[in-house]
A and B are shown apart, each in its own frame.
Chain A
Amino acid sequence: MRRVIITILIALAALAGIGAIAVATGDGSTVTKARLERALPVVFANQYAEQARLLGHPGITAESLHPVAMCDKHGPDFPDVGPGSDWICLMGWTDPNVPMPPEGYGKFELNVHSNDCFTAGGPSKLVGFQMLTDTAGRSVNNPVFEFDGCFDPSTDNSPTGTVFPSVLNVASTVLPVDAAGKVGLQVTCGTGADGCAGTIAAASGSTQLGTITYKLKEEATATLAVPTAVPPDAKDVTFTFTPTAGMAPPSAATVPLGR
């Protein structure tokens, strides 16, 4: 029995030794931002063409879509390399039947494995839901709602240069007013290249409440304080956005006050 234990220990020690050497000599994971940005559009285009065939959309082929992607792992301050379920890819493509939103992309969530395979989930607004109705009226699986793919670990790893802007969104549905009459607007800055920055002009009816300067990293939320107290009889506050980085709501947003 001692021989058995010694052998097993030696085997495990040998394995650990190999591991130590490999870790000491390099740390390259084959899962990188650039490789995902090249692999995801290929798989997506093929599956999207299949979806178009099921839906009976004519003229859509894998070649006609021209999809491009920008991928990011785990927020802004994190190296975009290695497997994980925290990869997000923004992808834009051309389909006359389904126009892109103003920012020009949809958000895909990826679970990437160390074996260079991944599962991607698409945005329902652009790719539809789990099941779709085909031309024959049957309910079938939507191939782009969720799909699997693998990529060659030796493919080109140079940056693709695809850049998509972050989008600033208003998260507050109601603005609580504090004792001093001050309010704060909660905003989110989504995944994108350079975060969100700019100014927001706040007004309540004809009363100007001042200008807020904002600067957020991508994938962040913030509560922006309105400089001036709101008038006691005000019902809501209207915000007008002037972005200098990233996208912001093109039309003014009016949020009711909660007293």
Chain B
Amino acid sequence: MTSSAVDVTPAADRGTPGSGKAPSLVSALRWEVRKLASQYRARAVLAGALLGPIPVAVVLHAQSRPPKDTLFGRYATTNGFSLALLILGFSCQWVLPLLTAIVAGDIFASEDQHGTWKTVLTRSTSRAKLFWAKALAAGGFAVVMVVFLSVSTIAASVLIGGHQPLVGVSGQLIGAHEALRLVSVSWATTLAPTLGFTCLAMLLSIATRNPAAGIATPVVLGMVMQLVGALGGIEAIRPLLLTTPYESWHGLLASPRFTGPLTQGLVVSGAWSLVALLAGFVMLRRRDITGG
């Protein structure tokens, strides 16, 4: 394949935005974004992220007995901030990995499904550039999805549940302004593990060449990791799991605040992302695409 002639390391590829190769990455990215924008699935995910939290907030708020078995469920029916954090806890279980995997798990495998690898690679773009364009498109989609879901959930929860002071995880009362800020930051902390799942889904998309497996496997892996993380006795592996950073926001709502798990979560999410990206990159580069 000719791609071996334009071999560039991923870092170099990203690190030279001003060089002659950069416009090609931008145009590849533009193509990927355009493909996503015209995809029914991607638009449905974004619409779901924007509109889905509204009925969820309405239904949860209308419960006669609050869901006390979940953190922040105790006051979810009487406090909007609690409601937003309850939905956050729920989203972290499988909603966020699923929503990002719907795009990221499909973005490479769809070329296999449609048999379009040869077509896209004969455009004046290299495999490396195509890889990073797809990665950036999937990552960007994940960010937009998280922003949509957070803003919609927080707005719906506070409008429906009210903005009384929030009871934090140290039992302390947090005033409405501070609570709004902390709830927003808590939602923002899900970005790192969600991007980790995005990279994992891309790797699985490349490895399986099957959109269904690319979408479902990260979600299943996420659930397995959660189960493993909840078991007693093997807690030494808890910090290494990609689902643990999804719980790191608890420390923001404590008094005094603690951010150790948050920092650890960023490192762990970064490591998962990096390993998945590099493995995916190597796998795609070594692949024999002559068959289509």
What residues of chain A have their CB less than 8 Å away from a CB belonging to chain B? 1, 3-4, 7-8, 11-12, 15, 18-19, 22-23, 25-31, 42-47, 50, 82-84, 113-117, 119, 141, 143, 146-155
Contacts and interface: CB of A to CB of B under 8 A. Distances in A.
Contacts of A1: 210
Contact of B235 (A3, A30, A119): A30
Interface of B: 68-69, 71-72, 74, 78, 167, 169-173, 204, 207-210, 213, 217, 220-221, 224-225, 228-238, 240, 244, 247, 250-251, 253-255, 258, 260-261
A21 to B, nearest CB: 8
B258 A28 contact: no
Nearest to A155: B258
Given A12-B224, A117-B71, A148-B71, A154 B260 contact: yes
Nearest to A144: B171
A29 B233 CA distance: 7
B228 A153 contact: no
A254 to B, nearest CB: 42
A31 B220 CA distance: 27
B210 A4 contact: yes
A84 B255 CA distance: 24
Nearest to B171: A46
A43 B171 contact: yes
A27 B204 CA distance: 31
30 contacts: A1-B210, A4-B210, A7-B208, A7-B213, A8-B213, A8-B217, A19-B237, A22-B236, A27-B233, A27-B235, A27-B236, A30-B235, A43-B169, A43-B171, A45-B171, A46-B171, A47-B167, A47-B171, A82-B232, A82-B233, A113-B230, A115-B230, A115-B250, A147-B171, A148-B72, A149-B171, A150-B250, A150-B251, A151-B254, A152-B254
B260 A153 contact: yes
Nearest to B250: A150
B207 A152 contact: no
Contacts of A82: 232-233, 235
Contact of A116 (B68, B207, B230, B250): B250
A181 to B, nearest CB: 50
Nearest to B221: A11
B250 A15 contact: no
Scoring A8, A12, A147, A150 by chain B CB atoms within 10 A of each residue's CB, the highest score goes to A150
Given A46-B171, A50-B173, A83-B235, 15 more contacts: A7-B207, A7-B217, A11-B217, A27-B233, A29-B232, A31-B235, A43-B169, A113-B230, A114-B231, A114-B235, A115-B229, A119-B68, A119-B69, A148-B71, A153-B260
A149 B169 contact: yes
Contacts of A115: 229-230, 244, 247, 250
A259 B258 CA distance: 63
Contacts of A8: 208, 213, 217, 220
B283 to A, nearest CB: 10
